[in-house]
Structure 1
């Protein structure tokens, strides 16, 4: 599988172009199915695996530890920790569990971050994380303090590179400038909701916003920031009649883009899902998809996107649809 680089300007961390998200591993995706997906992913050359200390607290009976704990068992059973790039997140767990979210999220104070990374590493059975994200914004903690806390994880050898998720463009840019001015390792990547369809004007995603044009423009100008997208396949809405479009995407622009997407997929002999993934990978700036799959068959479909050749004409048709 092709590789991409997460770089802080001084060093680089190689990751696979596709990232495997494990949000529901250990809750709605049982251990046998999750292990099969993980095995297939690494067999196909995948290295980048994404989890969080919150996955999945909202599922009945879930507490947020399930995904990390399952990954820890898989890593121990396969003995392959050094072959994968392991990412987790902090800041979004409700405190106490069951409290209204996101207003009662744990936040990004130094005490919280230090306590939670220790718990994540224990569950994952590792002495370091390769990527560690600030999961959602925390306006109660100063941005200077957040930057300093995450930088200290790198300098202490607990984390290789850091990133943020669900942050607006100006906060991402400000955090990176604070780090540069202080000579500290800063956020190297941002993970945001993104897909081929564009949300309707004014669409509300709450604490999980869609990737904005401003953030894309910032990443286009500053190539040292890698962009990852989650919810890229809209939980199956591109291909499954039983999965309607989320209401934020259900507007005339989307239906026009879906028609062009279907035409391009037919011309290529591919599925719409594969075209969406190929479009993300070849966009400007490139967006690394975080795959949310629950079976090997779904993963294999996604892997097929790596073989698609979206030439300039096809990309132009996709870009200008709507």
Structure 2
């Protein structure tokens, strides 16, 4: 287990993404994936109140409802659930009133007494940051949220959030969730230093670059691909991107694990990272994710992957 920042949350070093629940994984498939995740030692589940409002027929909160039903049915012990606010169709933005109403709605859908880790999903330029920080602090003070966090915030805005929290004397964020993987390393220049400075746990999303770092997409031609993420993943299939895949495959083979597991293991080796975030829409995808959480790369292997990925592809 690993500790999230300076919180009391001890979690398995992989966060299971709930964005697929109610989208590419129906209720039964989602239950099976969650069951297998816990059976494999997992205890950290990530979702958002907006998942998956983009699917025809969904309204938002769909993932939370599935996770809530699973929690009620299985009653697992020691599971940490993270969710987010600002993008639900009925709860847009980060005004104080909206943050409170959205948190109460998430608690009801999840069927929990309090949210373990509550993220500001995206920065809200239209709401004063002081108002948002105070609102998150009030949720902790009132027992609706155990710990707060930020996602998709710039380094400057994270610093400002922490400054305001300290001035107000309210709970500071314990985690940050940025876009970070072997083909998107800009995070190392700004977010990682801030996380190290303030003791924030880093929970990277797109850990597998929309599926590219599974090795499944080795061509920019996605004709015939049924996955809804195929086009996004295939954009990384440049000569440099394929060189990363080849290196991952060779290093992974030495450990007896997959390309995907090796990509997750590389993230684990980076400063401040506590639990890379990855999702599985099919049960057979989960073992690779779990293996990535427990695979330890050597310093030389990490350095080799650092070197081969020292370029930046098209901005995704």
| Match for residue 64 of structure 1 among 60, 75, 80 | 60
* 1:245 CA displacement: 5.8
Shift of 1:115: 0.8
Residues 84, 118 of structure 2: 8 Å contact kept: yes
Question: Against the structure 1 CA distance between its residues 263 and 16, is the aligned structure 2 distance closer, same or farther, given a 3 Å change threshold?
Answer: same
SS in 2 for 1:318: helix
What corresponds to 1:94 in structure 2? 89
1:24, distance to aligned residue in structure 2 (A): 1.9
Of 188, 197, 206, the residue aligned with 1:221 is 197
The answer to whether the 8 Å contact 2:60/2:89 transfers is no
Match of residue 170 from structure 2: 184
Indicate how the Cα distance of structure 1 residues 28 and 244 shifts in structure 2: closer, same or farther if over 3 A, else same.
closer
C-alpha distance in structure 2 between counterparts of 1:32 and 1:120, whole Å: 21
| Distance in 2, Cα, partners of 1:143 & 1:248 | 35
Pairing 1:1-322 to 2, within 5 Å after superposition: 3-8=1-6, 11-80=7-76, 82-94=77-89, 106-198=92-184, 211=187, 213-222=189-198, 224-238=199-213, 239-241=215-217, 242=225, 243=230, 246=233, 249=236, 251=238, 253-322=240-309
User: 1: distance between equivalents of 2:296 and 2:234?
Assistant: 31
Flag the structure with more relative contact order, 1 or 2, with Cα contacts below 8 A and sequence separation at least 6.
2
- TM-score normalized with structure 1 length: 0.86
Alignment: residue pair count: 297
Gap regions ≥5 residues in structure 1: 96-104, 200-209
Displacement of 1:244 in angstroms is 5.6
**Aligned-residue RMSD, C-alpha:** 2.0
Distance in 1 between residues matched to 2:235 and 2:138, nearest whole Å: 38
Q: Distance in 1 between matches of 2:235 and 2:158?
A: 24
| Cα distance change on mapping 1:259 and 1:75 into 2, 3 Å | same
With normalisation by structure 2, the TM-score equals 0.87
Structure 2 residue matching 1:153: 3-state secondary structure? helix
- 1:163–1:188 contact (8 Å) kept in structure 2: yes
In structure 2, relative to structure 1, the CA distance for the partners of 1:244 and 1:111 (3 Å cut) is closer
Q: Which runs of 5+ in 2 are unaligned?
A: 218-224, 310-316
> In the TM superposition, what is the alpha-carbon distance from 1:17 to its structure 2 partner?
1.0
Question: SS at the partner of 1:193?
Answer: coil
Is residue 134–residue 168 contact of structure 2 (8 Å, CA) maintained in 1?
A: no
